[in-house]
Amino acid sequence: MGTDVLVVGGGPAGMAAALSAAQSGAGSVLIVERNERLGGILNQCIHNGFGLTLFGKELTGPEYAGRYADQIGQAEIPCLFNTTVVSMTGNKEVLIRNTDGERQIEAGAVILATGCRERPRGAISIPGSRPAGVYSAGTVQKLINCCGYMPGKRAVILGSGDIGLIMARRLTLEGAHVEAVCEIMPYSSGLKRNIVQCLEDYDIPLYLSHTVTRIFGRERVEGVEISGVDEHLAPVEGTQRFIECDTLLLSVGLIPENELAGYAGIVMDAKTGGPLVNDRLETSVPGIFACGNSLHVHDLADFASLEAVEAGKNAAAYVKAGGEACQEFECRAGNGIGSVVPQRMSAKALAEGATAYIRVGRPFENASIVIKRGDRVIRTVRSPRLTPGEMVKTVVRDSGDGDLTFEVDSHD
Amino acid sequence: MIKKITCTTCPMGCDMLLEHEDGKILSLTGNRCARGKAYAENEFFHPARVLTTVLYVKACDSMLPVRSDRPIPKDRLFECLRAVKGIRVVPPVHRGDILYAGIAGDANIIASADM
């Protein structure tokens, strides 16, 4: 069995990529989705705030997914549900498995839209036993919103990323009491809107520069110890405080899901956790593209979908015309920059204007992102406020030569 | 009295201070644009939020996401939530169907998904 474009994952990126590939003239497009329906994580994000950029409306996750799924249906793009991609080669031979068994699909181009995973408890070291009641925030989201289970009555949330904030509100609305949200950094990585509407609205305290240093309880969580941290993020002796609770939620970051990229021998970027891509969102393996949260974690679903539209177009073009060899330049994350995507830009794309997605490494006020080629500044993006929680998107246009360096120029 | 309001209109997230007395705004500082002023006034006089929750649908043994089709006054969210939880959903339901008309004035509770 073969297909022109195979899209792995049917979430906000996968659906947008598939539609875009079909609209850009790919003869056959196939979505492989491990769930029983389209939407991915959108289906468990029942809160509003989706679609402002793409649909000009404030939708819930399921509504956003539903609108896209309708378009996929109208475009008659086939979807294989309850199907997992088991492995993939650099030749774009994709092995899938479902209840019918295992099958290999030869794809003209592959788009990785596999999303991301939550960092688990093991990724942060909290001493203590292993009682029931410690969950990742997304797991609680699924339990409450999709399964109808309340995981506890009194919760502490570690991490103030958006999912943690959203879950503080969800738990409160569904009758639990959220004792506190602790954030190890001196700032929240969540959107301001979520700080206001999920914490302040319900008088939930946010302790910045605080972390959970101990979990109490044998069978079930009985409480946690929180501590203030110093500038090196080390707990400060004497600041410990006990909070009684039966549930601890972890919202401590997201990791792009890229097992498949590994099988195909795709070169990864340690900074983003996703594949290294060029301006066409093509990975180091020709014809394999990446987009959405599997490429790098986005702030909003809308942005993941918008990026995926580009991946879809480029995959369709690759199938029709084949890859084009073009001189490429590196995009380096310099001083103050957390990550830059794409990591490579072609001379042609730079001449026409290529989009860069930039995340800063820490918050800055009244600073600029400066893009240089050697000592020559080719673009300056000024901002009164730069935070790691908000990705900066900018177009770089230059017909010169040499690799690009992205830096933060802080005026303070 | 001083009320701290964070503007959520754009990613700038201006921290504003609104000085008020007897339900009247005396002054506003910290906003960088006119949208911030409008936001602060609205947050002061009529704070409202879209309510989202889930309902158990017995016939399908699964959860249906629902929301209010417009913002509901903030101080009535929990009262509305109790009313929403009493809705008995009989499938089939389509995205956008009104499940409860006229909650907290002219807001409706609508289905967020098909079931």
A332, β-bridge pairs: A405
User: DSSP state, B106?
Assistant: T
Q: Do B49 and A201 touch (CB under 8 A)?
A: yes
Q: Are A4 and A108 in contact (CB under 8 A)?
A: yes
User: Which of B51, B52, B70, B81 is the best residue to mutate to test the A interface, defined by the most A CB atoms within 10 Å of its own CB?
Assistant: B52
Contact B112 A195 (CB under 8 A): no
Q: What is the pLDDT of residue B11?
A: 66
Taking residue A89's Cβ as centre, other Cβ atoms within 10 Å add up to 15
Q: Which pLDDT score is estimated for A120?
A: 85
Out of B12, B78, B112, name the one closest to residue A385 (CB): B12
Helix, strand, coil percentages, rounded to 5, for chain A:
25, 35, 40
Distance, CA of A219 to CA of B106 (rounded, Å): 48
The pLDDT of residue A412: 59
Tell me the angle at which helices A12-23 and A61-74 cross, rounded to the nearest 10 degrees: 30
Q: Which of the residues in chain A have pLDDT under 50?
A: none
The CA distance from B13 to the nearest CA of chain A, in Å, is: 6
ipTM of the complex model: 0.91
Domains of chain A in start order, with CATH, are 1-117+254-325 (3.50.50.60), 120-252 (3.50.50.60), 328-412 (2.60.40)
- Could you say which residues from 238 to 257 on chain A have a Cβ atom under 8 Å away from some Cβ of chain B? none
Distance from CA of B26 to the nearest CA of A (A): 23
Contact B54 A144 (CB under 8 A): yes
**What pLDDT sits at residue B14?**
85
> What secondary structure does DSSP assign to A27-80, as a single string?
S-EEEE-SSSSS-GGGGG--SEEESTTTTSS-EEHHHHHHHHHHHHHHTT--EE
Residue A137's pLDDT is 96
Query: Which of B8, B67, B77 is closest, CB to CB, to A196?
Result: B8
Tell if the pTM clears 0.90, that is, is over it. Answer: yes
Cβ contact (<8 Å) for A62 and B112?
yes
Residue-by-residue pLDDT tens, chain B, 115 positions: 998 898 887 767 788 999 999 989 999 999 888 889 999 999 999 999 999 999 999 999 999 999 999 999 999 999 999 999 999 999 999 999 999 999 998 999 999 999 9
Tell me the chain B residues in contact with residue A367 when contact means C-beta distances shorter than 8 Å.
none
Q: Give the pLDDT of residue A1.
A: 83
DSSP β-bridge partners for residue B18: B3, B28
Considering only the beta carbons, identify the residue of B8, B81, B114 that sits closest to A193: B8
